[in-house]
Structure 1
Amino acid sequence: MASGSTQKFSLFALTAMVVGSMVGAGIFSLPRTFGAATGPFGAIIAWCIAGGGMYMLARIFQALAERKPDLDAGVYAYAKAGFGDYPGFLSAFGYWIGSCIGNVSYWVLIKSTLGRFFPVFGDGNTLVAIVVASIGIWLFHFMILRGVQQAAFINTVVTVAKVVPILTFIVLLAVAFKLDLFRANFWGGEGMPAASLLEQIRATMLATVFVFIGIEGASNYSRYAQTRADVGTATIIGFVGVTALMVLVTLLPYAALQRPEIAGMTQPSMAGVLAAVVGPWGAVFISAGVIISVLGAYLAWSLVCAEVLYVAARTDDMPRLFGTENQNKVPAAALWLTNVIVQLFVISTYWSRDAFALMLNLTSAMSLIPYLFVAAYGYLVARRGETYEVRPQERRRDLIIAGIAVIYTIFMIIAGGLKFVLLSALLYAPGTILYFWARREQGKQIFNTTADWVIFAAAVIGCIAAIAGLSTGYLTI
């Protein structure tokens, strides 16, 4: 993790970073999430939209990795290069804190998985669940502080271990496929509230973003790649493989159970579906896979969180304190702040009606802003013709891809709803204190442009509106 490290990642290791980052909590929750929202027809359309939009983003990550090799910090570096210091900070902050919230969802899912066998854990947000999760947070914290030099190797092993239960689930449900049941559920099934197709698809949108988060896993570690082109290749390979898994995990349950049964399951719903098909051992098998998967993803994302904050501090986008390392070459201050934030969010789940869904949707909402900046930067680079002295014939294609990605991310922000835009502002506005701190350290003017002031004002207004909404009950968590 240190900048002076000579460790280099192969194409296989980079691909495992993408797969390992994407296959975490989300995929195990897909049956219920989609079952509550729509039938197979709506699910197919939702995946076409999500898969198409995210594929465009993956292509942008691939193109920028090759055309802008000097931008090594991944997601947030593109926002800074294209739009300036404050948008670059917001992208780094949004990506970092969104990843922290994603880590909270992992603990909630672990505890709700255990709640299937030990009722004291409930849905993952009981007092006992919060205490146990808190112990887990700090055990991981101190383990990482001692130096996890073989993080890529650990991630690769865990990635293999967690894909096996998912593949087993797919094979067993494919064998048990009932065509008449799939047909009965296809247009929405019976026993569910009536909703338009647009409403059904919209209800799945933030969930699809959540399961695709991690698509930039190789880009985050691009400075460690043996060959720069491997970053883009790993991104596409990981994207295609994981998308196929997620679509199958979503659709196959409709051929095994009635839609209301799927919608009524506790998370992780993959365990309940398999138990209904093969018996109680199915729930135990998937639950073990969930815990291995989520703990592995938690390790990977703890490293990503610290890496984002560390690199941002090294490039003067965060306070210098977070760019320091301990004697084990671990960005200790960045890790401490990350886990303090994770701890606070874990405590906050106590007051949430559906803690997992809240953390899933909020993670997605926070991640969409950085993704929008990446898409917009890809569009700017293609429109200006920067770096297109090499392979100029690709410029028109890249311009179209980036344009679609921009439209997709804006659509997803709108589809997520005003609630999550306001909750995002509740984090972005106070988070700007870190930006003020960094600018003061460097003796620089706080905001350089009118656009920066407008963005900051919008964040503050959104934050005030969110506080008012929560205090009056208009917004609920």
Structure 2
Amino acid sequence: MQNGEEKKLGLLSLTGMVVGSMIGAGIFSLPRTFSNATGVIGAIIAWAIAGAGMYTLARVFQSLAQRKPDLDAGIFAYAKAGFGDYLGFLSAFGYWLGSCIGNVSYWVLIKSTLGAFFPVFGNGNTLPAILAASIGIWLFHFLILRGVQQAAFINAVVTVAKIIPILAFIVMLIVAFKLDLFRTNLWGDFGTEGIFAQVRRTMLVTVFVFLGIEGASVYSRFAIKRSHVGVATLIGFMTALCLMVLVTLLPYAVMHQSEIAALRQPSMAGVLESAVGHWGAVFISVGLLISVLGAYLAWSLICAEVLFAASKNEDMPRIFASENKNGVPAAALWLTNIVVQLFVISTYWSSDAFSLMLNLTSAVSLIPYFLVAAFGFMLARRGETYENGNGRTRDLVVAGIAVLYTAFLVYAGGLKFVLLSALLYAPGTALYYWARRERGRKLFKSWEIVVFAVALVGCLAAVAGLHQGWIII
């Protein structure tokens, strides 16, 4: 995109971008995460719900990108346009914070992967692991401050590093497939617990692995043909979904469900080791390390850009719109990495740091996604941007399903993660106060005070729960 010229993308390139935005570190953790929650039947039901729900959300993003092209500051711009300044801020803050916590999960997964070969790193939350992750955080920080951007060759290496091990994993597990073992794992070993309760426990991880699905609509302005965007979204989404489903289900045919549940993360390495020997674990681990380090660089830039764009949109304090001499939003990057550092330190007290960061990332990200779906529903219901009526009924139904799906995810995540989200959202309002005060604007409208009060009550309840031990991290 240099010299003002935009490189036009064909269907294949667009599809590759869609797949690349959705296939990340989370896929390497799927076998254990699902085996801890359910058996084959529950996993199929969970992916059917997640696939249908996330697809409707992707369609909402695509529709809004076409109908509201002026709202290009980020997905939080939709929340602000539809529901006012404070909810717009909460959406921006939640999207940024979810991305920060997601970056923490990368470091936990990296150290857990190394822990299989160097026991001092344990499950990614020992003191040596936290120290090593901290060094990595600040090495990347100062590298980015010098203006190092994610070059094309890094993208290519990262894409190959994560796709080849995943495809090899799938092929080798198909060869090792044991039908009798697969049948044994159909329902899993969960006693009298109902299938609905099992499926509920998988919902937040399905959000995590699909984070970035909104990126599909970003590429529309680069398409050779506008019609390619919808086709690429569908093909890319279905490709990513198929890979995730296969990575989830095939381990049930080579190991017992309880054995998969006992594996360390990344569990894909342990499953392949069981099927082909120790070299399988090394193969997956090397691919994961390259993939996650590349993804961390990309998401560090994204985190800083979210704060930068929100500040430009007057949703965050002005300081975060400042850039250094290399064109990097330095203040935004500093706050991002300070927050990442604090969360990395907090993993020391977690019994399962990776699962906690994964679920918390998803829970915090649900508010921005819910507000986007609600804005899409509101536009279609009012008929705004539907002057000729074309597509209004379809978009109303799709957005309605997306609203119900994101609301169900909040319920499925459980009270624990609702309260932990409030624990982060309520103090974050200090940034909103700062931004409103420096621009001389009233802090809250009357109904926004109610929203803040609910967040504050949830925050206090979370503090009490952590202190008294009925919320365990």
> What interval of TM-score do these two structures reach, taking the shorter chain for normalisation?
over 0.9
Q: Provide the C-alpha distance between the structure 1 equivalents of 2:84 and 2:472, rounded to a whole number of angstroms.
A: 34
- Match 2:332 to one of 331, 334, 356: 334
Contact 2:78-2:88 within 8 A present in 1 as well: yes
1:403 aligns with 2:400: yes
1:97-140 deviation per Cα after TM superposition (whole angstroms, max 9, x unaligned): 01100000000000000000000000000000000001111111
1:153 is displaced (CA, Å) by 5.2
Change in 2 beyond 3 A, CA 1:28/1:125: same
In the alignment, structure 2 segments of 5+ residues that lack a partner are none
Confirm or deny: 8 A CA contact 2:363 2:417 kept in the other structure: yes
Structure 2 residue 450 is the aligned partner of structure 1 residue 466: no
1:252 equivalent among 250, 253, 276: 250
- Quote the Cα distance in structure 2 between the aligned partners of 1:286 and 1:314: 41
- Give the CA deviation at 1:284: 0.1
Aligned counterparts of 1:334 and 1:136: Cα–Cα separation in 2: 18
Q: Pick from 423, 426, 433: which aligns with 2:423? A: 426
Q: How does 1:58-77 map to 2 (within 5 A)?
A: 58-77=58-77
Q: Judge conservation of contact 1:65–1:231 (CA < 8 Å) in 2.
A: no
2:207, 2:362 within 8 Å by CA — same for their partners in 1?
Answer: yes
- Alignment deviations for residues 308-365 of structure 1 (CA, whole Å, 9 cap, x no partner): 1110000101011101111111111111110110000000001111100100010000
1:44 partnered with 2:44: yes
Q: Distance in 2 between matches of 1:428 and 1:16?
A: 35
Identity %: 71
1:475: how far off?
0.9
* Change beyond 3 A, Cα 1:225–1:70: farther
Q: CA deviation at 1:196?
A: 0.9
Tell me, yes or no, if structure 1 residue 143 matches structure 2 residue 143: yes
Distance of 2:395 and 2:51 partners within structure 1: 18
Residues 256-265 or 192-201, more deviating: 192-201
Kindly provide the amino acid, as one letter, of the partner of residue 307 in structure 1.
E
CA distance in 1: counterparts of 2:255 and 2:29, whole angstroms: 16
Distance 2:153 2:74 in 1: 21
Answering whether residue 319 of structure 2 is matched by residue 321 of structure 1, we say: yes
Q: Secondary structure at the match of 1:74?
A: coil
- State which of 302, 309, 312 in structure 2 corresponds to 1:311: 309
Correspondence for 2:54: 54
Matches within 5 A, 1:316-465: 316-389=314-387, 392-447=389-444, 449-465=445-461
The 1:94/1:75 distance shift into structure 2, 3 A limit, reads same
Displacement of 1:242 after TM fit? 1.1
CA distance in 1, matches of 2:166, 2:349: 32
> 1:152 offset after TM fit, Å?
5.4
Residue 80 (structure 1) aligned with residue 80 (structure 2) = yes
Work out the CA distance in 1 between the residues paired with 2:204 and 2:5. Answer: 38
Task: Please say if residues 74 and 309 of structure 2, whose CA atoms lie closer than 8 Å, have aligned partners that are also in contact.
Answer: no
Query: What is the Cα deviation at residue 238 of structure 1?
Result: 3.1
User: Judging changes above 3 Å, is the alpha-carbon distance between structure 1 residues 336 and 212 closer, same or farther for their aligned structure 2 residues?
Assistant: same
From 204, 207, 214, the counterpart of 1:216: 214
Shift of 1:20: 3.3
Given the superposition, is the C-alpha separation of residues 307 and 220 from structure 1 closer, same or farther in structure 2, using an over 3 Å criterion?
farther
Q: Is the 8 A contact 1:177 1:255 kept in 2?
A: yes
CA 1:231–1:369: 2 relative to 1, 3 Å: farther
In 2: Cα distance, 1:228 partner to 1:137 partner: 39
Q: Is the CA contact (8 Å cut-off) linking 2:317 and 2:438 kept in structure 1?
A: yes
Tell me what 2:282 maps to. Answer: 284
Unaligned runs of 5+ in 1: none
Could you say if the C-alpha distance between residues 309 and 201 of structure 1 is closer, same or farther in structure 2, counting changes exceeding 3 Å? same
Q: How many residues align?
A: 472
Q: 1:432 to 1:153 in 2, by over 3 A?
A: farther
What SS is found at the alignment partner of 1:92?
helix
1:266-288 CA deviation, whole Å, 9 max, x = no partner?
A: 10000000000001000000001
Alignment partners' CA distance in 1, 2:222 and 2:133: 32
Q: 1:35·1:259 contact (CA, 8 Å) conserved in 2?
A: yes
Structure 1 residue 150: deviation in Å? 4.5
Deviations 1:289-317 (A, max 9, x none): 11111112111211111111110000101
Listed one character per residue, the Cα deviations across residues 250-278 of structure 1 (whole Å, up to 9, x for unaligned) are 00011111111111111000000000000
Contact 2:60–2:398 (Cα < 8 Å) also in 1? yes
1:17/1:155 contact within 8 Å kept: no
Structure 1 partner of 2:269: 271
Matching of residue 99 in structure 1 with residue 95 in structure 2: no
Q: How much has 1:149 moved relative to structure 2?
A: 4.0
Taking the aligned partners of 1:228 and 1:434, their CA distance within structure 2 comes to 39
**8 Å CA contact retained: 2:150, 2:298:** no
Per-residue deviation at 1:218? 3.8
Distance 1:129 1:161 in 2: 23
Match of 1:298 in 2: 296
TM-superposed deviation, 1:161: 2.2
